[in-house]
Amino acid sequence: MKFVKSKGLRGEITVPGDKSISHRSVMFGSIAKGTTRIRRYLQGADCLSTISCFRKMGVEIENTGDTVLVHGRGMRGLTCPETPLDCGNSGTTMRLMSGILAAQDFSATLTGDESIRKRPMNRIIEPLTRMGGRITGNGGSGCAPLSIAGGPLSGIDYISPVASAQVKSAILLAGLYADGQTRVTEPYLSRNHTEIMLTHFGARVQTQGTTAVVTPAPELHAQQIDVPGDISSAAYFICAGLMVPNSEIFIRHVGINPTRAGILDVCRAMGGRVSVLNKTSASGEPAADLLVSSSSLHGTVIEGALIPTLIDELPMIAAMACFADGTTVIRDAAELKVKESNRIRVMVQNLAAMGADVQETDDGMIIQGGRPLHGASIDSCLDHRIAMTFAVTGLCCDGETSILGADCVRISYPEFYGDLEKLTV
């Protein structure tokens, strides 16, 4: 896949449904009573992995492309899978499902692709073990494949060392089955889709600051879920609209949950022209249309509580910072090292190959903006967010940018390149 300098991006776009919300809707629908109807379910490979895992546990799921129907089997209705559950590339599938499996009356094995088998699973093994779960990583490595022998669980009060919605959600889901309340406190608040959606399904989940408390639920009730557009996918068009001269992009119906929408604050702090229009809400999640246009950008500092609200957008933001005047500092973002790739290293190497002045730090990057970048051969390391980031960056570079492993966008946004092309002037 090759990209050259763009003369501008103009038009309207609807990005696919939110990945985090899509995963949760099938998982919660599977253990609820009744049929959950999901509109705009993301048809990316990660969310299809979740569907396939729950089908293997006896859940009937109809996927028509636009609507997904999940015929829930109730809290105790999952059945023992005959083969290992393949999570593909999806951390959300593996970690959240572990919370549910820890409480079942059968054993299961969770596996996935080469990338996920290197990602840290001790962060869920440790708290779920404290609850009474029996989970082992591959040869005690703390990595997948994970063997989970389900059984009775006890509620815990857990102080998480990381602000991670996957960790928080795994514990809260196990907590639905525990013998008392379960509390999870994070250093900063991570995305709260689990808390919002579980409440819709009839569970009792309370939030105080960065603590979420779940009460065991005898039953969940099927829901209609309207999935808003994924702000993590919209991020590529938000930044493209700001970075590429002569651009104006209208992005329809994007989720703007404050625990996810940090990118909007950062764009504004950098001088970006971003308007939030026509606010609505869908299934308890706020959404809006976004209008972005080419802007003269300047550097900023991104740190602390803001980081979990834009963790998946940081690669794109780092690339945008190369086109902003002055210095941008990203810190407190060590979590980037344990995503689908080491996103600090991979971003620094690829941006440097384009001629950027960017320095890797222990927990982020320091970017000196304002230098013109040139096209380069980019290794996506099969990380979808890296591939999409450099497709957009290539539109602002002199010369040609080619992306190795470009097809990995199928993980979260199969139509990405076509959608980007449609906006080309």
Give first-to-last CA distance, the chain, whole Å: 19
Among the residue ranges 68-76, 165-173, 276-284, 414-422, the one whose residues contact ligand S3P (CB under 6 A): 165-173
Query: Least distance in Å: CB of 248 to ligand S3P?
Result: 29
DSSP state of 341: S
Cα separations (Å) of 282 from 62, 68, 99?
Answer: 22, 16, 26
Q: Tell me the residue type at 86.
A: D
Query: Least distance in Å: CB of 352 to ligand S3P?
Result: 24
Q: Does 335 bind ligand S3P (CB under 6 A)?
A: yes
Does residue 233 contact residue 412 with C-beta atoms inside 8 Å?
A: yes
Cβ closest to ligand S3P, residue 187 vs residue 271: 187
Nearest-angstrom CA–CA distance, 195 and 197: 6
Does residue 61 contact residue 68 with C-beta atoms inside 8 Å?
A: yes
Tokens for 96, please give them: 């959240």
Cβ closest to ligand S3P, residue 290 vs residue 311: 311
Q: Does 312 bind ligand S3P (CB under 6 A)?
A: yes
Q: Does 20 bind ligand S3P (CB under 6 A)?
A: yes
Q: Which of 27, 48, 165, 205 binds ligand S3P (CB under 6 A)?
A: 165
Omega before 145 cis (within 30°)? Answer: yes
Which residue bears the tokens 């590429």? 244
DSSP state of 163: -
User: Cβ neighbours of residue 70 under 8 Å, at least 6 residues apart?
Assistant: 25, 26, 29, 30, 32, 35, 36, 38, 54, 59, 60, 61, 222
Query: Least distance in Å: CB of 228 to ligand S3P?
Result: 14
User: Cβ neighbours of residue 271 under 8 Å, at least 6 residues apart?
Assistant: 295, 296, 297, 298, 324
Among the residue ranges 54-62, 163-171, 285-293, 299-307, the one whose residues contact ligand S3P (CB under 6 A): 163-171
Q: Does 195 bind ligand S3P (CB under 6 A)?
A: no
Q: Does 46 bind ligand S3P (CB under 6 A)?
A: no
Cβ closest to ligand S3P, residue 92 vs residue 295: 92
Does residue 272 contact residue 296 with C-beta atoms inside 8 Å?
A: no
Q: Does 333 bind ligand S3P (CB under 6 A)?
A: no
Nearest-angstrom CA–CA distance, 156 and 128: 9
Print the binding letters for residues 245-264 with ligand S3P: x by CB under 6 A, - otherwise. Answer: --------------------
Q: What angle do CA 32, 38, 42 make, to 5 degrees?
A: 120
Print the binding letters for residues 92-111 with ligand S3P: x by CB under 6 A, - otherwise. Answer: x-------------------
Cβ closest to ligand S3P, residue 183 vs residue 191: 191
- Told to judge if 157 belongs to the known catalytic residues of this protein, a careful annotator would answer no
Nearest-angstrom CA–CA distance, 390 and 379: 9
The site for ligand S3P, by CB under 6 A, has a size of: 11
Print the binding letters for residues 60-99 with ligand S3P: x by CB under 6 A, - otherwise. Answer: --------------------------------x-------
Which listed residue (113, 289, 312, 419) is catalytic? 312
Active-site residues: which are they? 312
Binding residues (CB under 6 A) for ligand S3P: these are: 20, 92, 164-166, 169, 190-191, 311-312, 335
